[in-house]
Amino acid sequence: MTKDEIRSLFIDFFIQRGHVLLPNLSLIPDDDTVLLTSAGVQQVQPFFLGMARPPAPRLVNVQRVVRTTDIESIGDYNHCTFFEMLGNWSIGDYFKEQSIRWSWELVTEVLRFPKERIWVSVYDGVNGTDTESFEFWRSVGMPAERIVYLDDEHNWWAPGDTGPCGPDTEIFYDRGEHYGCGRPDCKPGCDCDRFLEFWNNVFTQYNREVDGSLTLLQSKNVDTGAGLERWAMLLQEKPSVYETDCFWPLVEALCLATGRRYDEDPHVTRSLRIIADHGRALTFLIFDGVVPTPDGRGSVLRQLLRRAVLHGHLLGLRRPFLADVVVPTVVEMMKGGYPELVERHSFIAEVAGGEERQFLSTLQRGLPLVESLLDRFARTGTVDGAAVFDLKQTHGFPLELVQEAAEQRGLSIDMQEYEHAAERHRLASASKDEFHERSRSNKAYGEIAESLGRAPEFLGYETLTARARVAGIVKDNQSVQEALPDETVEIVLDRTPFYAESGGQLGDRGTLTRGGVTVFITDTQKPKGSILTVHTGTVHGGTLRVGDQVEAAVDPEWREGVRHHHSATHLAHRALKDVLGEGVHQEGSVVAPDRFTFDFNLSRPMTPVEISRVEHEVNRMIRADLPVETALMTYAEAVKTGAMALFTEKYGDTVRVVTMGASRELCGGTHVRRTGEIGAFYILSESSVSAGIRRIEAVAGEAAHRYARAQINELRELTRDLGAQPGQAGARVAALRENARALERQLNEARQEIANLKTQSLLGVPRANGAGGPEEMDGFRALVRRVEAGSVDDLKSQSDALKSRFAPCVIVLGAAINGRAMFTASATQGLEEKGVNAGALMRAAATAAGGKGGGNPTWAQGSAPDASKIDEGLDAARALLHARGA
């Protein structure tokens, strides 16, 4: 049974039993308090909490997820960072008995797992004993001896310290004694590999409050989860998930690329598995719009990508392979379940390849740093773990490669100190919010949504003002009945003209008024996972109460500026495709009333000509005064018409299509009626966001007029200050620039002449042994001196003059510059064979003087805060030169 057949079978089984199929959402969750989609239940959680109404009481889906909590276990037989989670849910409908019966039916009658190999566990812990589940399992024919009671660690499910929770029952497969520990009482709960948990049925009937107490939820719910890859491993009778069709085509491609055999060595097998796992994960993360960044969800992608490259390096791959081997294989392997991968193939390869090339460069630069680090601890035999972590944080150099290099030299790494350093870093950069905290704070929204019974009606496409009723007020995450003067609160109306921030368009501002009471609205948002529109504002002139009738008015200047810029993003998107190619896609945007930013995929900077062409094309469409047409249709119909769907957005069954000439996009935002209303469009800047992602910042409408006027005024002032005629400022600047270059050349010549004079003077000063020139050593000359220098450039010039005169040589100089001790070391190419390394000399000099320094074998520099320590530093460098080879 293939992975695609298993996926379809699971969905069909539950659809036939009255379940509604939920969409397979992006790995970028619709909740900014969590980095990534890590479970299918994330989109169901608001239904459990009563914050939103489910489309049906019975639900099913297969959700792509990423988890890195077990990343160190990747490479064993069953753990994955990216996997497909099979899940079915009951929201207040069926409960334990029906869930267990259907699980048993699917496992034994449809999938035909041998009944004698099935074991289950049920809950027995501090919150009681789940005897109900035990009896239900017995009623379907499960022998009592194969039902195991396990404690809170194993059979109690909770997303955190608070939130929906409850007992669960897990289904295990007995893989056989040869996978076990050998103990006669081995059973589920044992740490060995014999019993594999492959389906978990969670009964979320409680809510854990802040004080730790349990309260019953409004409805009893079922939440099941199973990994498709584990099912494939068992049904395809493979020893690990990596031999199934979920991974094996990629493993084979990697074996071909590396020339290694999958089973030739445990280290080789582990590296191939890690690359295969991380390759699937990085492909889907980029597919869903994640790009490599130093923090946030982009850092997860960067970590996975770099670990994959690292293990390719350990297998002997010294060339990029992600874009050429991994990505195309994953696309081909997974397109049956995710056909959209094919369209995004080139973009995924572009982003992965760009980050890979950068990291390969990091590896090449970092290897000398690793060798230097290992040299420092060669005598003790144990490498400082904090220094290894610093190497990872500062230079991006991975722990595994340091471990590999240390092992080859017979050294070990102090992993306890490494973990301490990592924990200090984690605590310093940890997010303040967690998913369960957001769920708890949103309970107030759930109460309001329940009392309102529907989503507030949005009127903002037709009008900027409306009469509305206050349906709810939230203060400090609590639902309240009134808001007093000067209080800042969140207000829910039964209908509103205010647009809530979405699709990059910022939320509206404006006022709510009732008699003498005015609420100044500063933001409008939709709480994550809620149907509500929330207006944030400060109350003035009286008290606002739930049930009050108010006049809601959007700030017309704010909305007009936003409309101009939002419509301009659509035209810019079309123009970018026309100029750069149809492969360009929007990756994100921020639409404000005074400007917008627009992110898109491109592996290089745009040229000035391309920027000009895009700007010209947008202004052409504005001058054409095209009608802006909107239409509601199904998502499938919209795609058939050629409407662009953004991969960073999530869409329902009914979508709004906005058309402006050749531009046609799915969009729920507010727009102009005709493109001519935009007036003008100018691109302010083009820059890099991350590997493979570029950004333009632009202005339109009144903001564009202000920008153009400011540019004209500045040019007039500049022309006047330069004493140039109108239209001649550029020529005047060019002449001044050439004059500055000539002066710079004269200055450099003078600087070099001064350095030569200082060099002559320097050589006239005898050393302690009476000689005036450099010291003769083993086939080269060495000069270690204190000199006078006005700047670091001056010090470098003197070093260059001496080096050219005495080559082959090594020159170490020290000087007091701005109260600090400054050092340089310069060595002729080829002296490394004689034990001369400028970087090592500089580290010795700077360290002895109480500072820091370093560099490469032929050039290095350093400094120390105390200029009186210069001679100590030079003595240390001189001693190191004399000690080489000793």
Name the pTM for this structure. Answer: 0.61
Whole-number Cα distances in Å, 94 to 100, 334, 460, 867: 10, 34, 40, 80
The pLDDT confidence band at residue 430, using thresholds 50, 70 and 90, is very low
Same domain, 572 and 599: yes
Q: Which pLDDT score is estimated for 807? A: 87
pLDDT at 437 over 50: no
Whether 476 is in a domain gets the answer yes
Hey, is 771 helix, strand or coil? coil
pLDDT attached to residue 429: 45
pLDDT for position 432: 30
In this predicted model, which residue has the larger pLDDT, 439 or 27? Answer: 27
pLDDT for residue 365 is more than 80: no
Among 554, 576, 611, identify where a domain stops. 554
Region 381-408 average pLDDT: 81
Q: Please state the three-class secondary structure of 148-162 as a single string.
A: EEECHHHHEECCCCC
Give the best-scoring range by mean pLDDT among 398-402, 519-523, 709-713: 519-523
Give the end of a domain, one of 197, 226, 246. 246
Report the range of poorest mean pLDDT among 573-577, 852-856, 877-881. 852-856
Q: Which residues of 774-793 are buried (b: 16+ CB within 10 A; e: fewer)?
A: bbebeebbbbbbbbebeebe
**What does DSSP assign to residue 855?**
E
Q: Could you tell me if residue 436 is inside a domain? A: no
Is 433's pLDDT higher than 60?
Answer: no
Highest mean pLDDT among 32-36, 175-179, 697-701: 697-701
For residue 79, give the CATH number of its domain: 3.30.930.10
| CATH number, domain with residue 521 | 2.40.30.130
Strand, helix or coil for residue 517 = strand
Does the pLDDT of residue 715 top 50, yes or no?
yes
User: What's the average model confidence in pLDDT over 652-668?
Assistant: 88
Residue 729 lies in a domain: no
- Residue 200: pLDDT over 70: yes
Is the same domain home to 605 and 653?
A: yes
Residue 187 CB contacts under 8 Å (≥ 6 apart), including other chains: 119, 148, 195
Tell me, what's the pLDDT at 768? 41
Which pLDDT belongs to residue 639? 76
Q: End of a domain among 537, 554, 571? A: 554
- Specify whether 505 is located in the same domain as 570: no
Same domain, 602 and 625: yes
**Residue 437 maps to a domain:** no
Task: Identify whether residues 579 and 608 lie together within a single domain.
Answer: yes
Query: For residue 370, is it within any domain?
Result: yes
Residue type for 382, please? T
**C-beta of residue 122 within 8 angstroms of C-beta of residue 134:** yes
**Beta strands per DSSP E along 663-750:** 663-666, 681-690, 693-700
Q: Identify whether residues 201 and 169 lie together within a single domain.
A: yes
Specify the range with the lowest mean pLDDT, choosing from 233-247, 400-414, 772-786.
Answer: 400-414
**121, 189 contact by CB (below 8 A):** yes
More confident: 541 or 756? 541
Mean pLDDT for all residues in the chain: 88
Residue 655 — very low, low, confident or very high, per pLDDT cuts 50/70/90?
Answer: confident
> Do 544 and 476 share a structural domain?
yes
Find the mean pLDDT for residues 360-384.
84
Of the candidates 588, 504, 583, the residue with the CA atom closest to the CA atom of residue 290: 588
68 pLDDT higher than 90: no
Confirm if 291 and 348 have CB atoms less than 8 A apart: no
Same domain, 628 and 768: no
Instruction: Pick left, alpha or beta for residue 677 (phi over 0 → left; psi -120 to 50 → alpha; otherwise beta).
Output: alpha
Range with lowest mean pLDDT among 209-213, 485-489, 511-515: 209-213
Evaluate if residue 431 carries a pLDDT over 50: no
Specify the pLDDT at position 33: 62
What does the pLDDT read at residue 354?
86
Same structural domain, 222 and 350: no
Domain tally, the chain = 5
pLDDT on residue 771: 41
pLDDT more than 70, % of the chain: 94
The model's confidence at residue 261, banded by pLDDT at 50, 70 and 90, is very high
Residue 718 covered by a domain: no
- What's the pLDDT tens digit per position in 528-568? 767 889 999 999 999 999 999 999 999 999 999 999 999 99
Residue 692's CATH number: 3.30.980.10
253 lies in some domain:
no
Instruction: Check the CA dihedral 98-99-100-103 and report its sign.
Output: positive
Amino acid identity, position 201: N
Domain that holds residue 532: 451-554
Shared domain for 127 and 242, answered yes or no, is: yes
Cα 142 from Cα 40, distance rounded (Å): 28
Q: Do residue 753 and residue 604 come from a single domain?
A: no
pLDDT number for residue 2? 93
- Whether 32 shows a pLDDT value over 70: the answer reads no
Contact 657, 633 (CB under 8 A): yes
User: Is the preceding omega at residue 320 within 30 degrees of 0, hence cis?
Assistant: no
- The gap between the terminal CA atoms of the chain, to the nearest Å, is 69
What own/partner pairs with CB < 8 Å and gap ≥ 24 does 80-83 have? 80/227, 80/229, 80/241, 80/277, 80/280, 81/277, 81/278, 81/281, 81/304, 82/277, 82/280, 82/281, 82/284, 82/285, 83/227, 83/228, 83/229
The predicted structure's pLDDT at residue 854:
84
Is the pLDDT at 821 greater than 60? The verdict is yes
Q: What is the pLDDT of residues 314-337, one digit of tens each?
A: 898 888 999 999 999 999 999 999
pLDDT digits (tens, 9 = 90+) for 265-306: 898 999 999 999 999 999 999 998 888 877 778 888 988 998
Asked, for residue 121, whether it belongs to a domain, the answer is yes
Here the CATH number for the domain that contains residue 835 is: 3.10.310.40
Note the pLDDT of residue 363: 78
Specify the pLDDT at position 66: 93
The mean per-residue pLDDT over the stretch 816-821 comes to 91
* One domain, residues 399 and 521: no
